[in-house]
Amino acid sequence: MENETLEEIYEAYAKEVSRYLFSISLDYEITEELVQETFFRAFLQIEKLRSEQIKPWLFKVAYNLFIDKKRKDKRLLHKDLDSYDVANNSLTIEEQLLLKERLQSILINIRELPEKQKNALLLVSIHHFTYEQTAQVMGISESNVKILIFRARQTLRNNERGNGNG
């Protein structure tokens, strides 16, 4: 990374890495811990990385740290769904409650996806990674990423139909 300092890299990517880690860990403390470890590893490797590799490399490190942490902990992590704010002045209270219920249902369905499907879907749909970048982060082929995303979306659609929302 020729002219980029760790501080500049942190400023550019910390929020995205944090959102990604939270979306897969559902735990603020674990997210903070893994973000710190991710950027510590970036500090150790700063001279070896090219600028165009930074974002995929950071997400791959974050993903691997999460998998390592998950293996060590072997426990399910839950998130308080009430923290999602669906308040919208243009909606009635009843509409807000229905929207919140639907959001909770979708989040539960995403959480229940197989780990690889969930991660591929989050990287592409939420973090706007290309299939190629997602493949690099997850250490799989680009075609495998496409299959994982297809299956994840198919499962989510089927679950929504089963809940009467499709």
Q: Is residue 164 part of a domain?
A: no
Q: Is 75 exposed, middle or buried (0-12, 13-18, 19+ CB in 10 A)?
A: exposed
Q: Is residue 88 part of a domain?
A: no
Final residue of a domain: which of 44, 73, 102?
73
Q: What is the pLDDT of residues 91-106, one digit of tens each?
A: 788 877 887 787 778 7
Q: Is residue 136 part of a domain?
A: yes
pLDDT over 50 at 123, yes or no: yes
Lowest model confidence (mean pLDDT) among 54-58, 79-83, 123-127, 136-140:
79-83
Stronger pLDDT, 17 or 47, i.e. the higher one: 17
Mean pLDDT computed over every residue of the chain: 82
Whether the model clears a pTM of 0.85, i.e. scores above it, the answer is: no
Q: Is residue 151 part of a domain?
A: yes
Q: CATH number for the domain including 149?
A: 1.10.10.10
Q: Is residue 108 part of a domain?
A: no
**Domain count along the chain:** 2
Domain that holds residue 42: 6-73
Stronger pLDDT, 163 or 141, i.e. the higher one: 141
Q: CATH number for the domain including 13?
A: 1.10.1740
Q: Which residue's entry shows tokens 């991710």? A: 38
Backbone angles phi, psi at 12, to 5 degrees: -75, -35
